[in-house]
Amino acid sequence: MHIIRPDTIQVLKERKKGSLRRLAQDLGFPLSFAATLSDVLCERHGKVGLRTENRIRVALGLEPIGTYEIPACPDCGAVHVGRCNGKGPSAQVVVIDPEHERIVRKHAGKRRRRRASISVSVELRDRLNQARKAAGKSWEEFLEALFTQSEGQIRRVIGREQEQCECS
């Protein structure tokens, strides 16, 4: 998230003499840019990016905010703190400028297996949940056991349906 510099806000407040549309026009921006100027004046950090703030700063006669390059990790090619040995970044650096440098932690989450969902009636879900709790199993364990027990019946039903389809 980009933090709008206080001097940008201050100078913009000093230059505002009328409406935001007029201010946008005076600074050489289209009238629709008034919404962006409102975001700056109301200090809605994160709504205005660094490039946009730099455009406003140049129009106000201020120096653009400097940036500097951070070398990429030799292991994975991403920009982050420390070496990851090819496992991906554990923290990413967001550089606004040297005065406002900050680190945003990005914890590597555990990779979970893909999940799907099914829709059933509330009554059926409650009955299944009651049986699952009585068995002391997780949903995955319970459904796997239920499927294993009834797999033969399911195959017979599917076989009958396929036979009926072939005959008609």
| Domain boundaries of the chain, sorted by first residue | 6-60, 122-164
What confidence score (pLDDT) does residue 110 get? 60
**111 and 88 Cβ atoms separated by less than 8 Å:** no
DSSP 75-128: TTS---SS--TTS--SEEEE-S-GGG-EEEE---PPPPPP-------HHHHHHH
Strands 102-105 and 91-94: antiparallel
Contact by Cβ (8 Å): 96, 2: yes
> How sure is the predictor about 55, in pLDDT bands with cuts at 50, 70 and 90?
very high
pLDDT in tens, 98-152: 555 554 455 555 666 777 788 889 999 999 899 999 999 988 888 888 888 887 7
> What are the CA-CA distances from residue 121 to residues 88, 144, 146 (Å)?
42, 20, 18
Q: Scanning the structure block, which residue is given the tokens 């629709």?
A: 32
Better-predicted residue by pLDDT, 81 or 93? 81
Whether pTM > 0.75 for this model: the answer is no
pLDDT at 148: 85
